[in-house]
Structure 1
Amino acid sequence: MVAVTATLRVACSPGEARIAVMENGELQDFAIWTPGHPDGVGDTHRGRITSRVPALGGAFVTLGKGADGFLSDRDGAEGTCEGESVIVRVTRAAMAGKGPRLRAAPDAAPAKGDITLLKRGPSPLEELAARWHGPILVDHPTFAARIPTSLRDRVKRVPSAWDDGVQDAVDTLTTPEIDLPGGMRATITPTPALVAIDMDSGSASAILQAKQTAQFAANRAAFPTLFRQIRLRNLSGAILIDPAGLNARKRQALREPIEAELRSDPLRPRCLGITALGLAEIVRTRIHPPLHELLSGAHGQAMQALRHLVTSHLIASQATHRAGRPVLRAGLGVARALEDDSLACEDVVSWCGYPLTLRADPSMPFLSWVTDDE
């Protein structure tokens, strides 16, 4: 894939960098980089077969520290036996309650030895930098120092990597409803089994006057924006799209413009057709967790808490010329996520000038948190 020139804007906070790729004022790509809590895609491990599962066509592999992945027969489990050491690479992150998917990498290292992580895969910044040429704007020295030397010539330190326009564009990725061209809108509803997308004519319905040709044109004109949202949110697996205001026969003609939009997606999703109910059925490869899982999970909530802590520190410093030391009180889920990400906790000193004070509160909801004055 040929890299395109764009600006990578890296907004940093303790333990987390949010990377927005901007081209001509438009958000083209987005990723979250958490060095202390990587999703593991691309990592190479020396693991051990714990159980063969013929019914699933593969085997479970322990990767150490309580992590287990699945290695299919097609990807290298065939002919292995329980207790055998294997060299594997993570091809899909753990998500939706399922462990990582693995592929054999026998040439990466000797198979015999202890269970261990042999090599980290590329970070989200490295993946985006390979896809997009251009400057990398970073707004904190802590993360600037973590950027690989191969990318240092592209790095520029700035006071703030994001402006209001970038923030607004990123904020749209967290809302279930999105505005589409021509007054249309769509509602995105992720479920454990699939992602449902309902398109609605909205304010365009009065103009379209229920004419099928006009409705078809409106749906087709809305696809570029809709499919950009799918890519930016990294929605994956089974995706069902319900177009707006078209009869069953006319919906069949949407397959060609849908396939045209999918060609620009680096994950090469496939349109399987239009179902009997008139739904466009799409499959997009699962590799990294979708954005809604990253933000709503325990670690995502923990990173949000640290961003709030930094903001509170800056406000207090500017108001009183003296920074207070707030305490982060958290439910068990957020507290455990922070305890597991020691790098994020250490980063608090770089932003606030004092270490994080964390108090786990079993009485609070699992994924909740508040800041208290010490």
Structure 2
Amino acid sequence: MTIRIRAASAPGEIRIAVTDDARTDEDGAAGAGLIEYALWRPGAPDGIGDLHRGRIVARMPAMGGAFVDLTDGASGFLPDSAGAAGLTEGDAVLVRIMRSAQGGKGARLAACPPDAVPESDRTGPPALLARGPTPLEALAAAWPDASILIDDASVGARIPSALRNRMLRTTNAFDAETEAASDALDDPTVDLPGGMRATITPTPALVAIDMDGGAASADRRAKQTAQFAANRDALPALLHQIRLRNLSGAIILDVAGLAIRKRQALRPIFEESLACDPLRPRFLGFTALGLAEILRSRVRPPLHELVSGAHGQALRALRHWVRATRGTPGPAATLRVGTDIARALDRDPDAVADATRLAGHLPARQLDPSLPPLGWTLSGPENRP
């Protein structure tokens, strides 16, 4: 079996990669051996599958649903089609989170039947009654024959007992290729087969993807023949990036150079590549401007939202600090941070404790007002970058 689930421990989060060890970068695909990727933050779960006892706080007829108060001041939206019909303000309701809060919008909910919980849990103030599956549990269910590689005993302690017979302890859950492919997912620019390149730009309304011919423009064949072949060969790897980065909602993709009338011939490539995605994205066709339209369900937060905010950048800074510090003698590198990073670290003491345990040093943190609010850098006696 060449499929493995790799769970790499990092401060405040566990990076999870499903890899196929039989595939290599010789395939020419971006992140060739990486099949799935997810972030699991035990201290800040995304809520998918959580069961809540909530309370209707506002009926919204124009929106076709109602807002529901959840635990700790959180809220979500319950559509009429998912159980809000007939409920009024003040009613208690059992709901499950079907889509996490993301893109500035609250969680999307679905009502559960009363017999989903014991009678004693059916009434009372808003409360979290049961957690849904973690990203690791979800991927383990999707790949039932894959072993789970872990590099930290604390990860094993968080895994349900039913999965522990699949665990293998290793020094580094991520090998060099997986580490490189994981790091590349933070970059909005993607190198593609044939010398092509794509730039991914999330916006509040949609995700825009622009393909560029790059080195593919050196092809000596007739222009349209060369451009069709270049797009055909690069698209599967690019469409796989949608899955790896969990891009969702409306996605608009502009292929490279090909005349609008020729783009319809790429439809089978879109449909075949997207069919591999468990969320079953829909290829809607090409607009009058020749832009490919894709619609992918929103469930868990997209990767760019998880990594771009203050908390995500703070965890990234700690991860790089651990890499620079672990196993090194003498004073540890100093982590200099901007104001927003400093606040995020103050709000997540467990992540700082994780960094101390993983590196064997207490992070030496220094607020540096000269840095941007989301900026950070490492410095020390050895001038580690």
Instruction: Provide the TM-score with structure 1 as the length reference.
Output: 0.89
Aligned residues: 365
Change (3 A) 1:354 1:168: closer
1:117-266 aligned within 5 A: 117-132=128-143, 133-207=145-219, 209-266=221-278
Residue 30 (structure 1) aligns with:
37
Change (3 A) 1:168 1:198: same
1:99 aligns with 2:106: yes
Change (3 A) 1:122 1:339: farther
Partners in 1 of 2:55 and 2:42 — Cα distance?
26
Which letter maps to 2:137? E
Equivalent residues of 1:208, 1:215 under 8 A apart:
no
Residue 11 (structure 1) aligns with:
8
Partners in 1 of 2:184 and 2:320 — Cα distance?
20
1:53-110 deviation per Cα after TM superposition (whole angstroms, max 9, x unaligned) = 1111111111121211111111111111111111111111111111111111124224
Out of 77, 80, 85, which is 2:84 matched to? 77
Instruction: Provide the TM-score with structure 2 as the length reference.
Output: 0.87
* 2:129 counterpart SS class: strand
Partners in 2 of 1:206 and 1:190 — Cα distance?
30
**Cα deviation, residue 19, structure 1:** 1.2
**Cα deviation, residue 185, structure 1:** 1.8
Change (3 A) 1:119 1:329: farther
Pick which of 338-347 and 286-295 moved more: 338-347
1:107-122 aligned within 5 A: 107-109=115-117, 110-122=121-133
Partners in 1 of 2:70 and 2:47 — Cα distance?
11
Which letter maps to 1:99? G
Equivalent residues of 2:334, 2:379 under 8 A apart:
yes
1:10-46 deviation per Cα after TM superposition (whole angstroms, max 9, x unaligned) = 2112221111211024111111111111111111111
**Cα deviation, residue 142, structure 1:** 1.3
Change (3 A) 1:354 1:85: farther
Residue 17 (structure 2) aligns with:
20
Which letter maps to 2:200? I
* 1:12 counterpart SS class: strand
**Cα deviation, residue 344, structure 1:** 2.5
Equivalent residues of 1:255, 1:280 under 8 A apart:
no
Provide structure 2 residue ranges, at least 5 long, that are not aligned to the other structure: 25-32, 381-385
Partners in 1 of 2:344 and 2:68 — Cα distance?
24
Partners in 2 of 1:290 and 1:352 — Cα distance?
29
Change (3 A) 1:308 1:264: closer
Equivalent residues of 2:52, 2:71 under 8 A apart:
no
The alignment-based identity, stated in percent, is 56
1:214-267 deviation per Cα after TM superposition (whole angstroms, max 9, x unaligned) = 422321222211111111011111111111222221112222321121111100
Partners in 1 of 2:48 and 2:366 — Cα distance?
32
* 1:253 counterpart SS class: helix
Partners in 2 of 1:96 and 1:365 — Cα distance?
23
Equivalent residues of 2:319, 2:355 under 8 A apart:
no
Partners in 1 of 2:184 and 2:346 — Cα distance?
30
Residue 267 (structure 1) aligns with:
279
Which letter maps to 2:150? V
Residue 65 (structure 2) aligns with:
58
Which letter maps to 1:69? G
* 1:343 counterpart SS class: helix
Equivalent residues of 1:142, 1:350 under 8 A apart:
no
Which letter maps to 1:105? C
Equivalent residues of 1:201, 1:245 under 8 A apart:
yes
Pick which of 246-255 and 211-220 moved more: 211-220
Partners in 1 of 2:4 and 2:59 — Cα distance?
47
Change (3 A) 1:119 1:271: same
Equivalent residues of 1:349, 1:356 under 8 A apart:
yes
Partners in 1 of 2:2 and 2:101 — Cα distance?
31
Change (3 A) 1:279 1:356: same
Partners in 2 of 1:62 and 1:29 — Cα distance?
33
Equivalent residues of 1:210, 1:245 under 8 A apart:
no
1:86 aligns with 2:93: yes
Equivalent residues of 2:250, 2:296 under 8 A apart:
yes
**Cα deviation, residue 359, structure 1:** 7.5
**Cα deviation, residue 192, structure 1:** 1.4
Partners in 1 of 2:129 and 2:221 — Cα distance?
62
* 1:308 counterpart SS class: helix
